[in-house]
Structure 1
Amino acid sequence: MNKLVTVIIPTFKRANALPKAIESVKNQSYKEWEIIIVDDNAPLSEERKLTTKVMSEYSDSAQIKYICHSENKGACQARNTGLEAARGDYIAFLDDDDLWIETKLDKQVSALNSSGADICYSDMYQEYKGLRRYFTCVNDNDLYVSLLKQGFGICTSALLISTQAMRAINGFDNSLPSMQDYDLLLRLSKKYNAIRIAEPLITYQLADDGISCNPVNKANGHFGIINKHQEEYKRLALYRGLARQFESLADFELRSGNRLKAIKHYLKALSVFFTSPRVLVKLVVGSLFGKAPLEYYLMKRLEHESTRIERKT
């Protein structure tokens, strides 16, 4: 008998995106699933009305459950709400603006069943303003250490995790304003084995109104990660990884317009791990010219990666 997968879809101000996300699950070759939609819109808002209207089209489906928050609590708590209601053996997360290829669940369930691991993830495509690039996720050999070195996590839509493992670590940390996926994977991979599928099974949509493009939330998220996991970095002597956290914190402070805070954190990154020409360049250029050069560099890098992958496809 196939194991049941619970797919948790948090939604907030994106009612129009829900049908595509739901169809992405319904089109899966693996059919043993349930969907839990967690509506995080304010109860009396126009967005709640629109979302309720969309979900009324699925009211006859026994595989789709619709849960409404009594107030806006954030995507992190919405995922935890879905986890509490889940009946599946495995948990998958799908943001309402991301899409899966049709074999995503099939391949990940097979990988978990054959490997005995509790965490499965895949590579992915990233899309932003018409640009597209292939994103290779970190290797699964000692995922915990690899993630600490990398300095950021894995898109939640690319994950399949055993329900037992998710509940054992109490789900997402709702106190973090961002980087919750990174923190979750650090706590999971410290206790459980992982397996990576080295092909893109999802398309991850970067959106202007999403947390991925909110530098203030990202800065606060990296600050929270540093406070929570700094001692682990030091215990394992992963000073380059800790320096990357301070560098990322500085990047997002700079992009938020906080030049002095950015300078402070670039200097902290250099004090933790000095031999980083990239941080030195960011420190000097950011001090002189503010955020514009960094924003220009990030867009050009995305354009380059998009052009490279489009030529291959």
Structure 2
Amino acid sequence: MRRIVRAPWELLKLVFGWLVLFEAANKLRLAPSAVRLRRFEDAEVRRLAPLTADAPSALVATVIATHRRPEALLHAIRSALTQTEADQVVIVVDDGAGLPERSRFPDDPRLFTVSLSRNCGTAGVVRNVGIRLTRSRYTAFLDDDNLWEPDHLARALAALRAPGGPDGVYTALRRVRADGTEQDVLSVPFSRRRSARESFLDTNAFVARRTRALHFSRLRRTPEVLPREDWELIRRYSRRHRVAHLPEPTVRYLMNPASYFTAWDEPPVTVPGSPGAPPS
């Protein structure tokens, strides 16, 4: 009987992919919080816009989301500002925890820092504020505990600006353990079909042409909520935009035990309310 009950769920996973099904369930379950967070995001953009009014219209805007990692943040900022592609603006958006003293930041006119009025605990909203406060043809993303190789933006932009090039690209990730040792290099060619079943997409490696589709979901994703907002943005962006993979590892991705990181292996495919799911 148990095998018969599970059959429809297994069939749906086979047809649509477990990540697609999980995200559909997320949208239903978390919709009320998403509405409230959209209102908060709009209010914060209106409040912070005067602080970034002088931000230049660079070729690419780099959005760095941060929360209570001052030392790691400074390293991330330096890796962004020392890119071989200099035509960029870097905006740091703090999720309501407070930023280090301004004197600790590099003295660079391309760098802007803002703090949300309160902690919203939703990475998508923090990053959306950064997107909306900048003006650029392309947008890139870097978390406060990760680093870019100096040619990350140059490689991505060369592919994006090539004749007939894609709208968005993501490079390979060099995954690093907390002790600094390298675990592996994650390099997976883009496939929408494969992305329905494997969570290999991460926005730290993603650079894309700015369009209305380039925004993160506003769902409040706790560590238990899969898939992550990175996967959702890139997969949704790929519906109407061409996304390509560059196999060069240009991101040092910290597998931080004190933070969220993608589990690249498929987890148990159960969601609350699905056949075979543990009781909530």
> What's the TM-score once normalised by structure 2's chain length?
0.69
Match of 1:90 among 110, 134, 138: 138
Aligned partner of 1:122 in structure 2 is 171
CA distances 1:170-194 after superposition (whole Å, capped 9, x unpaired): 6111114051111111211111101
The question of whether the paired residues in 2 share the 8 Å contact of 1:92 and 1:160 is answered with yes
Give the distance between the partners of 2:269 and 2:96, measured in 1 at CA.
Answer: 29
Structure 1: give runs of 5+ residues left out of the alignment. 43-47, 219-243, 254-259, 267-313
Give the distance between the partners of 2:78 and 2:268, measured in 1 at CA.
Answer: 36
Q: Percent identity of the aligned residues?
A: 24
Aligned partner of 2:258 in structure 1 is 209
Alignment of 1:42-121 (within 5 A): 42=97, 48=98, 51-53=99-101, 55-58=102-105, 60-73=107-120, 74-114=122-162, 115-121=164-170
Higher helix share: 1
Say if 1:59 and 1:199 are closer, same or farther in 2 by CA, change over 3 A. Answer: closer
Alignment of 1:258-269 (within 5 A): 264-265=276-277
Partner of 2:197, secondary structure, is helix
Aligned partner of 1:45 in structure 2 is none
Alignment of 1:277-292 (within 5 A): none
The question of whether the paired residues in 1 share the 8 Å contact of 2:176 and 2:184 is answered with no
Kindly report the root-mean-square deviation, in angstroms, between the aligned alpha carbons of the 2 structures. Answer: 2.7
2:176 partner amino acid:
E
Match of 2:79 among 24, 30, 52: 24
Match of 1:134 among 184, 190, 213: 184
Give the distance between the partners of 1:163 and 1:211, measured in 2 at CA.
Answer: 26
Structure 2: give runs of 5+ residues left out of the alignment. 1-56
Give the distance between the partners of 1:33 and 1:85, measured in 2 at CA.
Answer: 14
Instruction: Compute the displacement of 1:133 (Å).
Output: 2.4
Partner of 1:94, secondary structure, is strand
CA distances 1:144-191 after superposition (whole Å, capped 9, x unpaired): 2221132x1412110101112xxx226111114051111111211111
Q: Which runs of 4+ in 1 moved over 3 A?
A: 55-60, 247-250, 260-263
The total of aligned residue pairs comes to: 213
Give the distance between the partners of 1:17 and 1:26, measured in 2 at CA.
Answer: 14
Q: 1 or 2 for the larger relative contact order (CA 8 Å, sep ≥6)?
A: 2
Give the distance between the partners of 2:58 and 2:244, measured in 1 at CA.
Answer: 18
Larger Rg: 1
The question of whether the paired residues in 2 share the 8 Å contact of 1:138 and 1:146 is answered with no
The question of whether the paired residues in 1 share the 8 Å contact of 2:74 and 2:105 is answered with no
2:119 partner amino acid:
N
> What's the TM-score once normalised by structure 1's chain length?
0.62
Aligned partner of 1:301 in structure 2 is none
Give the distance between the partners of 1:137 and 1:107, measured in 2 at CA.
Answer: 15
